[in-house]
């Protein structure tokens, strides 16, 4: 059954009059009558019967009308719903955050205060290909991400975080091998920053003994402050440490990572993603300047 013929039938059933139905859908009356006749022949049952100058639905016509009513209500709402979806898509930023999650979250909160109409979808998945903006590091396989429209790389120093009451707290700098016997408080092994930390320890010639692991930077900071071990702390992307933690510059090996912020090609581009991309870059750079003061 052709959708057009079903639409013609539904309109005639609605008006109960062929001429008025033809005018409503802008079709010649003979063509409309022919389409209804063809639909009746296809179904093998009469859909209307005449009584005087008026037409009425048969039992088959009533059944078909009842079935089509919900269908055409949904079809007629599609264009409106698509417009709503288009607006939501244009005002939504899809973020894939594989690094610097704390500072990115702070940037999102700050941006939302200025632009409450903008929505954010945040994921953390290296294999996700549908995103407007990604935040990752030089350790990630960026070939899995969508094509870049823009990309900025920001270097970030990595410090050794120690309890304020430890023997290292007053050091002006430190070699990483000096703490090889200490227990390390680290992010869980699935996180990219953990891979960076393990690589730094390998450069220093040892494998760290992890006394505590967590997915949360806040938990890492708190456990270090509780004198449960030492750990690594990125210069600005995790925010400031607590008063019971000291940050020591590492001079051997050189400890830093690169934060990669990318604006990507998207089959359904967000109109606000380019603006948030620039905002995020400025936010990161401000945080970086504050951390060096």
Residue 138 C-beta-side C-alpha neighbours within 13 Å: 11
Residue 86 C-beta-side C-alpha neighbours within 13 Å: 6
Query: Is the predicted pLDDT of residue 47 greater than 80, yes or no?
Result: yes
Q: Strand (E) positions, the chain?
A: 48-51, 54-57, 92-97, 119-123, 133-137, 148-163, 174-175, 183-187, 209-214, 231-234, 245-248, 250-252, 256-264
Per-residue pLDDT averaged across 157-180, rounded? 92
Per-residue pLDDT averaged across 215-238, rounded? 84
Q: pTM of the prediction?
A: 0.65
- Residue 232: phi, psi to the nearest 5? -100, 145
Query: pLDDT-derived band of residue 90, with 50, 70 and 90 as boundaries?
Result: confident
The pLDDT of residue 242 is 80
Residues near 88 by beta carbon (within 8 Å), at least 6 away in sequence: 119
CA distances from residue 145 to 17, 30, 267 in whole angstroms, order as listed:
58, 57, 13
Cβ contact 124:98 at 8 Å: yes
Sign of the torsion angle spanned by Cα atoms 262, 263, 265, 267: positive
Query: Is the predicted pLDDT of residue 141 greater than 80, yes or no?
Result: no
Q: Which two tokens stand for residue 102?
A: 């704390």
Percent of the chain beyond pLDDT 70?
96
Q: Nearest to residue 204, comparing CAs of 229, 181, 221, 185?
A: 181
Query: pLDDT-derived band of residue 189, with 50, 70 and 90 as boundaries?
Result: low
Q: Nearest to residue 257, comparing CAs of 95, 96, 94, 98?
A: 98
SS3 285: helix
Q: Nearest to residue 272, comparing CAs of 260, 280, 282?
A: 280
If you average pLDDT over every residue of the chain, what do you get? 87
- Residue 110: phi, psi to the nearest 5? -65, -40
pLDDT in tens, 55-70: 899 999 999 999 898 8
Continuous H helices in 214-272: 217-225
- Residue 29: phi, psi to the nearest 5? -60, -45
The pLDDT of residue 54 is 80
The pLDDT of residue 267 is 75
Cβ contact 171:260 at 8 Å: no
Q: Which residue has the tokens 């052709």?
A: 2
pLDDT in tens, 91-135: 899 999 988 888 899 999 999 999 999 999 998 887 777 889 999
Give the residue with greater pLDDT, 144 vs 253. 253
């Amino acid at each position: 059954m052709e959708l057009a013929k079903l639409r013609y039938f539904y309109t005639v059933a609605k008006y109960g009059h062929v001429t008025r139905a033809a005018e409503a859908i802008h079709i010649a009356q003979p063509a409309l009558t022919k389409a209804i006749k063809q639909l009746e022949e296809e179904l093998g049952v009469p859909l209307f019967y005449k009584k005087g100058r008026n037409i009425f639905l048969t039992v088959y016509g009533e059944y078909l009308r009842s079935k089509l009513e919900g269908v055409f209500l949904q079809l007629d709402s599609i264009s409106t719903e698509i417009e709503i979806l288009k607006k939501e898509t244009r005002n939504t930023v899809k973020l894939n955050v594989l690094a610097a999650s704390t500072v990115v979250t702070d940037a999102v909160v700050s941006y939302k205060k200025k632009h409450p109409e903008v929505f954010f979808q945040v994921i953390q998945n290296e294999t996700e290909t549908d995103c407007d903006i990604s935040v990752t590091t030089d350790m990630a396989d960026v070939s899995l991400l969508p094509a870049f429209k823009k990309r900025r790389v920001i270097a970030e120093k990595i410090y050794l975080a120690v309890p304020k009451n430890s023997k290292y707290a007053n050091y002006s700098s430190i070699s990483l091998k000096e703490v090889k016997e200490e227990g390390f408080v680290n992010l869980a092994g699935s996180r990219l920053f953990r891979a960076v930390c393990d690589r730094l320890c390998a450069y220093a010639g040892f494998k760290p003994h992890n006394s505590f692991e967590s997915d949360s930077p806040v938990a890492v900071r708190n456990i270090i402050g509780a004198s449960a071990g030492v750990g690594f702390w990125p210069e600005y992307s995790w925010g400031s440490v607590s008063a019971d933690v000291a940050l020591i510059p590492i001079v051997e090996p050189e400890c830093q990572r690169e934060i990669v912020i990318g604006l990507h090609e998207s089959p359904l581009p967000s109109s606000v993603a380019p603006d948030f991309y620039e905002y995020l870059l400025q936010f990161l750079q401000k945080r970086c300047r504050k951390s060096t003061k």
